[in-house]
Amino acid sequence: MSSQQQRTAIADKTLENQCQVQNHSAKEIQAENRDDVPRHSDKRHKINFPPASSGKQWEDLDSKIVLKIDSLLGKSTLERKLATFGDIVYQTCLDTFGAK
């Protein structure tokens, strides 16, 4: 006859904290307001983009955006680059193609 023994194992991870609320609750997800980062207005104008088949216009836009980002953000911190990238791209597109 074979004897059966019950095995018990204790998982350390489940004993550390059994409360999901404590592990998964968002503390504060609002971004802090910073005065040194330029902000765009809530309502932006729609841009009169050219058709996707206009390859030359899109290449020119790409070059303009790269030049503007390099000149304005050259050796800026990553945080500053990320905070202003969208505004630079939007303004360059608006200046290039105009509003609808």
pLDDT tens, 42-57?
A: 689 999 999 999 999 9
Burial of 73 (0-12, 13-18, 19+ CB in 10 A): middle
Reply yes or no on whether the pLDDT at 37 is more than 60. Answer: no
CB atoms within 10 A of CB 10: 6
Which amino acid would we find at residue 9? A
Q: Is the pTM of this model over 0.95?
A: no
Between CA 4 and CA 1 the distance in angstroms is: 10
